[in-house]
Amino acid sequence: MSTILLPETLSAANSKVLLQNCKKQLCTGALTLDGSQLKTMDYSADAFFALLAELAEKTGNRLTLSHFNEDIKAHLKSLRKMDPPDRPVKGTNNVLEMLGGLGFSFIKEFVEVLILLFMSIYWTVFGPFDKGKIHFGGVTKQMFKSGSEAMGICFLFVGLICLTMALQSSVMLNAVGGGSYLASGLGFLIFAEIGPLLTTIILAGRSGSAMAAEIANMSVCEEVKAIKSMAIPPVQYLVVPRFIALSITTPILSFCSSIVGSLAGFLIAYFFCDISFSNYMMGIRDGIAPITFLKSSVKALVFGWIVTLIACNKGLNAHGGAEAVGKATTASVVSAICSIVIADTLFAFIFY
């Protein structure tokens, strides 16, 4: 039997080394802890003695405590064995079930967004005839927040990307002697594709996330319930002003961004391909059929709906605490961008 003399103070600072020594001894045989000098202990002492007691029980070796003062004895006698409840099993590890769950939630969300679209269209058309309609001036406010305030960043992004694209195209076209075709090719690409796509992706990141966060916060703070309790349809109050605002601003913003992109392209055409402004404009006119502007506007309109409806749906379905607001915002941006890209691919097959 070995004996270990405990120090005057047993604390977190010295208990780790001491515990290792005691464990070593206890694994090989009986152990006596001499507490004749031990006067004070901190919170770590409970774990120290409990661990040694459990080890003694496990190995079958005897653990004895000698010469402990009465206070410490009384404390150790009251030390209880605890068996906390097991962590509940959450979710599943089955890949098929997980995939099924993902598919199901995707379908559920798609249906929810579709319902929201129909309800938004319904309230947009019949809202003005509803006698209890609330006039919030919400549409103009949302147009300003989601449209006007996003103008700068949309112009900057679309302008710079078009500039880069024009530069790379000009190098290739000049190499094969086709620099004069830059305007028509670039014009079509910008108005038909880059303008609506980039503008709405930026809107999804900037305005969509703001919408999702705002509505999610209202959901979490019971404001949506309060709206319902006053017999006001939340869709009419929260979604419709945003839906109308983005239906108006997105095509306009997309068109304006396309113009900025074309002007950026002109800089490259002028300096790298020797194309004058009038020739550049003629090239664009030749490259774009009038119907392209309509198709581009329809695309921008649908993408704007996608941004609004996904953001509002994520916001309305948020529940929990502050964490839910963050989750709704992130999910809104990711879902909207993915949906816009998928919709863009579908439009490419339908329109061209």
Residues at the contact surface with other proteins, assessed by CB under 8 A:
32, 49-50, 53, 62-68, 73, 76-85, 131-135, 218, 221-223, 225-232
- Least distance from other proteins to the Cβ atom of residue 268, Å: 45
Q: Which two three-digit tokens encode residue 241? A: 């002003």
Residue 218 makes CB contacts below 8 A (sequence gap 6+) with: 224, 238, 315
CB-based contact 300:250 (threshold 8 Å): yes
- Least distance from other proteins to the Cβ atom of residue 332, Å: 20
Which among 192, 174, 208 is positioned nearest to 314, based on CA atoms?
208
The nearer residue to other proteins, 49 or 155, going by C-beta atoms, is 49
The nearer residue to other proteins, 4 or 53, going by C-beta atoms, is 53
The nearer residue to other proteins, 69 or 148, going by C-beta atoms, is 69
Distance CA 68, CA 26 (A): 19
The nearer residue to other proteins, 230 or 291, going by C-beta atoms, is 230
Phi, psi (deg, nearest 5) at residue 40: -130, 150
41: enclosing H helix or E strand = strand 40-41
- Least distance from other proteins to the Cβ atom of residue 167, Å: 45
The nearer residue to other proteins, 87 or 131, going by C-beta atoms, is 131
Distance CA 217, CA 14 (A): 49
Identify residue 290 by its one-letter amino acid code. Answer: P
- Least distance from other proteins to the Cβ atom of residue 227, Å: 8
Distance CA 69, CA 264 (A): 87
Residue 179 makes CB contacts below 8 A (sequence gap 6+) with: 170, 173, 272, 273, 274, 275
- Least distance from other proteins to the Cβ atom of residue 288, Å: 42
- Least distance from other proteins to the Cβ atom of residue 294, Å: 36
The nearer residue to other proteins, 143 or 202, going by C-beta atoms, is 143
- Least distance from other proteins to the Cβ atom of residue 32, Å: 8
The nearer residue to other proteins, 95 or 231, going by C-beta atoms, is 231
From residue 52, give the alpha-carbon distance in Å to each of 12, 24, 79, 151, 333. 15, 10, 13, 69, 54
How far is the first Cα of the chain from the last one, in angstroms, to the nearest whole number? 90
Strand partners, 119: none
